[in-house]
Structure 1
Amino acid sequence: MKQLLLSAMLVVATLFGGIAVGPVGVAGAQETCSFPVTETDATGTEVTIEEEPERIVTLSPSAAQTMWEIGGQEKVVGVTKFSTYLDGANAKANVSGAGMTTVVPEKVVAQNPDLVLAPNVIPDQTVQTLRDAGLTVYKFEESESIEDIYAKTELTGQLTGECDGAAETVSWMKDRVNTVEQAVSGEDSPKVLYVMSGGFTAGEGTFINKIIETAGGTNIAAEADISGYKQISNEVVVQQQPDWFIVSAGMEVPNAYSETPAAQQNQTISLDSNYASQPAPRIVHPITKLAKTFHPEAYEQANLTTTTTEMGDDTRETTTTTDSQDGATGETTTESGGQPGFGGVGAVVAGALAVVTLLARRE
């Protein structure tokens, strides 16, 4: 079996210019995590984790989502109530309190965790209360950019013993964001309004604004000098003439916005707020959805990969369309200067590629 795999890889290397022969995995993946690990957190405290944690409590949906994405969900024993959208999170202990109470320290302590992951919105006093109870708590800095989310994902992997999963997740994120950036580069930027209840919207300095800009849109709230989450008047909305409305699932656009291109052309996009509002890996999903909607042709073109292979008198050009939303590979067409289809050598190449692709697939 090993000889077959090596042969397949050598075939691909010979025909396509060479590949690195070694363990199959994510390019640039980090080495296996090592413990003890010490990192300084947002409170200025040097937090040392002596051994790989087996019981983890997450105090925010973003921390929980990150653990799910990097493959560490089995280690999580406690979550907050706003994390229940994650598959299997209902089976974890709920450490939230009633109403808007984010966290109940006694519930966290009761889970006997090896590590507690706290977002920047958790008060330092709560963090100290948990530390005084003998728990190891790491409080994250605020994420202000997509690059910050990359870094936080990798750091979470280091702290929890999930380095490989974190590296793979960041690679997946960067691939999709890079595709979006390539697609929207040079394209006209449509005007966009994020519609919230009560006339509120998301302006400069919000993740919604980052999502809109990355996807190739212009946030009219930011253009109107609105920062954070504030109200925007109906008059300003109509004056700005947005081309698109963005809403959370179930939200409706006010009738007061009827005199805008977005309303007249019925151009409204619904986003999952669990993804759009959290500084965590799944933020790439709303970015991709918006880019595909704003710039469909450019996005499709950015996903076209053409490989030309010359072998003597036989030249083949293969074009593959990959959807960066989920990594699915679309239709592949092959034109051959020799016999139709792959031919003998082409079939060997296809088989070799299939073997290597199968081995590289995430488990």
Structure 2
Amino acid sequence: MGQYSRLLVSLAIIVALLAIAPAAVAGQSTAPADANDSFPITLTDATGTEVSLDERPERVTTTNPSAAQVMWELDADSQVVGLTQFAHYLDGAENRQNVSSTELGVSVERVVDTEPDLVLAPNATSVETVETLRDAGLTVYHFPEATDFEDVKSKTQTIGRLTGNDQAARETNAWVDANVEAVSAATADAEEPRLMYPLLGGFSVGGDTFINEIIAASGAENVVADEFDGYEVVNDETVISLDPEVLLVTDQTEGQILDSEPYSLTTAGQNNESVFLEVNYINQPAPRSLVYSTRNLTAQLHPELYDESDFVTRSEAAATLDQPTTGTEATPDQAATNETETTPEQDDETGVSAPGFGIAVAIVSLLGGSLLVRRRSGA
């Protein structure tokens, strides 16, 4: 077990060295920052704690890259003063204070040193860390696990409300809905290849995860979904028995999957069939991840069905919304309900996902895909 733990630490260090340039398709918010009349605000977080803010927080620190990605997508990166090393793929993130621990997780001391008005802590940040930060006098909002697209959108709306960017969050969720709907419509009648997404350390992506929902929306069947929910280690015999036709690889796992057993013994391995997504998006429960990963995975799995003209820009999605709304108090569930009522007609998205991987698996596979579209197949 000690050797395995050391392997996970090494993997985390390697992942930290990855730096992916942000995709150019990411549109900036077309609306100005929301007015401060949405404050004071009180929301109840995943720990059951009421988190109150009297005014718009000007200094925000994130403890996980998915929350940082949301802030960038809301065009609110100017409010971010601290983030983890795994968020350094975001444009300009290197200019913020790195709050990662020298080992694993975040450094409480580094977070405190950023002097934040608000700390956004996705569920991969432990409750113990959240309580320690609160004991240090910080205002911390801890998010629940995001197991499907709706959870990701609810998190986006909550971050928008907490940071005074509610309209930008509404626009972002409308952008997500429009593009996921376009992909789902294109693949509705497609023949679904049997796909498996192996992670490092023998883990794989199962059902009840946002990644499984990405796979389903993109017109593929996750062969592991019926085996378990979440993220678990899959033994060699099960991999061979499931016999995927296509393997999903990332820049984190490329060169470690197709040619190695047991994957090389499957139909996918023997036919050299894989799809590629960069890890900074596919593994992060955040808006760009949903849009880019469904788009790129569909383009690789079903190039004859997906048309680039189907992509909906941020400004096009924003134009479908009503005028901005404000409020002084809401729960995350209420925020999700409000967002659903004001976004374009949504595709019937199947519920499957997870907000990050939880603490253990997050160490193994923290990051996610990008706009690079490649499908590898035998020559």
Q: RMSD across aligned C-alpha pairs, in angstroms?
A: 2.6
Aligned AA (1:274): N
Higher relative contact order (CA 8 A, sep 6+): 2
Q: Is the 8 A contact 2:148 2:209 kept in 1?
A: no
Match of residue 88 from structure 2: 84
Match of residue 103 from structure 2: 99
Q: How does 1:1-363 map to 2 (within 5 A)?
A: 32=35, 34-100=38-104, 102-223=105-226, 225-249=227-251, 250-252=253-255, 253-256=258-261, 257-284=263-290, 285-300=292-307, 321-324=309-312
Distance 2:62 2:88 in 1: 12
Give the C-alpha shift of residue 238 in structure 1: 3.5
Give the C-alpha shift of residue 198 in structure 1: 4.3
Deviation track 1:56-94 (CA, whole Å, cap 9, x = no partner) reads 111110110100000110110000121111111111011
Cα gap change, 1:233/1:139 in structure 2, threshold over 3 Å: closer, same or farther? Answer: closer
Give the C-alpha shift of residue 123 in structure 1: 2.6
Q: Pick the structure with greater CA Rg.
A: 1
Distance 1:159 1:136 in 2: 11
Residue ranges of structure 2 left out of the alignment (5+ in a row): 1-29, 317-379
Distance 1:248 1:168 in 2: 29
Give the C-alpha shift of residue 235 in structure 1: 3.9
Between Structure 1 and Structure 2, how many residues are aligned? 282
Q: Is the 8 A contact 1:57 1:117 kept in 2?
A: yes
Residue ranges of structure 1 left out of the alignment (5+ in a row): 1-24, 304-320, 330-363
Aligned AA (2:249): V
Q: Would you tell me which structure has more strand in proportion to its own residues? A: 1
Aligned AA (1:143): A
Of all paired residues, the percent bearing the same amino acid is 42
Distance 1:274 1:193 in 2: 18
Cα gap change, 1:108/1:293 in structure 2, threshold over 3 Å: closer, same or farther? Answer: same
Q: Is the 8 A contact 1:322 1:328 kept in 2?
A: no
Distance 1:110 1:91 in 2: 15
Distance 1:160 1:242 in 2: 43
TM-score, length-scaled by structure 2: 0.68
Distance 1:71 1:77 in 2: 14
Cα gap change, 1:32/1:171 in structure 2, threshold over 3 Å: closer, same or farther? Answer: farther
Distance 2:118 2:89 in 1: 22
Distance 2:135 2:266 in 1: 56
TM-score, length-scaled by structure 1: 0.71
Distance 2:83 2:150 in 1: 25
Cα gap change, 1:69/1:85 in structure 2, threshold over 3 Å: closer, same or farther? Answer: same
Match of 2:310, SS?
Answer: strand
